[in-house]
Amino acid sequence: CLWHCCCLFLLMGEQNRVPLARAKRYAINPLGYKWEHFNITYKITKFPNTLSKNDTRKAIRIAFNKWSDVSPLTFTEITKPNKSADIIIGFYTFNHTDCWGSPLHPCFDGLNGELAHAFLPPRGEIHFDNHEFWILGKSRFSWKQGAWLNDLVQVAAHEVGHALGLWHSRDPNALMHPNATYTGQRNVAQDDIWGIQRLYGCLDKKRVCDPWARLGFCERRRSFMKKHCPQRCDLCYEPLDAVTTPTSPPANVKIKVVPRGKVVGFRCGTKNTRVPPKVSWYKDGEQLVTSIPGYISIKGRDLRIVANEFNEGTYTCRILRRGSVVSANSWAIRLKPERSSNNS
C-alpha cells in the first residue's frame, strides 16, 4: 500500500522507480499554510462501517498524539453536534463533497485503491474511503474478507501530517513518505519531526534546560539535549548541510513558462494502440503515485497541474510495455515572472 501526498492509496504490484534528483527530506506545502494557533480541535462527523465509534475515536486520538508529542500543538476532539472544529473528519464513499465538480479533487474508488486524502490549513478536512475495511491494529490481508484490513492509526497519522501543512517526505523512513504503509512505518521519524517543527517550532520538555545549557550540555551532551531541550540549544531544525540543490533538467525537455494559477495539461503517448500502455509519471525524478487535491490530477495518460511554486519542476512520463520503457517525454514548468504593480 502506498501513500499519496494528500491521498493514501493501496496498490498491488511492483513499483517502477527512477533515481531521486534531490536529497531525501521533508517538504512543507509551497505556500506555507499552517494553523495560526496551537490548540487545534477536530470533529468526526461520519464514522466507518467496519469499526465501532469508540475504536474509531481511539485510533484518531492516537494519530493526533503522534504529532502533539513532537510539536507545540495540542488536539482536542469536539463531540457536541452544534459546535464547529478546526479539522473535520469523515468516512465517505465514491463522490463526496465536490469531487465530481473539481478535476483536482479525487473521488473515492471503492474497495482498495485510494484510502484517504486530506486538505491543507485552513480548510481542515480529512476524508477516508468508507468502502475500506478499517481496523484498530496493524494492516494485514484477510483471506476471509478477500481484502486488506487497513490500520486506521497509520493512515490517519499520515493524513494528519498533511492537514497540519506537511507534504510528502523524500526520506523512506519517514511517516510522511508516500510509501509509508508499504514499509510499515507507523511512527513519526526524525525527518517528520524536522518538518513539523519547521512549521510550528519546538518545545523543551524539561524545566531545567537553562541550567543544563549553562553547564555546556548543548555541546557536551548534544543527543540528550536534542531530545529534551531542542529549543534552548537551537536543535529544532534540520541542519542546512543536509539539503542539496536539484540537478538541472535534461537538455531535451520542452520548457513551458506559464502564469501562476494556470491549469497545465500533459498527455503521454497516443491513444491508437490495441493494448493500453502502462504509464508512469515523475516529477524531478520522483514517481507521482497519486493525485494531490488542488495541485495535481493524474488519470492514466493525462496529467494536470496548477502552476505554482510547488509544482515548478520537470515532469516526465514513461510508457512501459512488457516491463521495458518504450518512450518517454519531459516538460519543464516555470512560472512567468509577475509584473510589478508600480509603473515607472
For residue 241, is it within any domain?
no
pTM of the model: 0.61
Residues 116 and 131 in one domain: yes
- Please give the grid coordinates belonging to residue 118: 486530506
CATH number reported for the structural domain that contains residue 129 in this entry: 3.40.390.10
- Which residues participate in catalysis according to the annotation? 159
| Confidence band for 112, pLDDT divided at 50, 70 and 90 | low
313 close to 333: Cβ distance less than 8 angstroms: yes
Binding region for Ca(2+): 86, 109-110, 129, 132
Residue 263 sits in a domain whose CATH number is 2.60.40.10
Under the banding of pLDDT at 50, 70 and 90, the label for residue 5 is very low
For residue 42, the enclosing domain spans 2-196
Q: What is the pLDDT of residues 238-290, one digit of tens each?
A: 543 333 333 444 556 888 898 888 889 988 876 655 666 688 888 776 677 66
| Domain termination residue (choose one: 196, 214, 243) | 196
Annotated binding-site ranges: 86, 96, 98, 109-110, 117, 127, 129, 132, 158, 162, 168, 176
Structural domain count, the chain: 3
Same domain, 209 and 299: no
Question: For the chain, what is the total number of helices (H) and then of strands (E)?
Answer: 7, 18
Tell me, yes or no, whether 15 and 101 share the same domain: yes
Task: Kindly state whether residue 97 falls inside one of the protein's structural domains.
Answer: yes
Residue 277: all three cell numbers together: 500502455
- Let me know: does 325 contact 16? Beta carbons within 8 Å: no
Q: Is 62 helix (H, G, I), strand (E, B) or coil?
A: helix
Contacts of 90 (CB under 8 A, 6+ apart): 44, 45, 46, 96, 125, 126, 127, 128
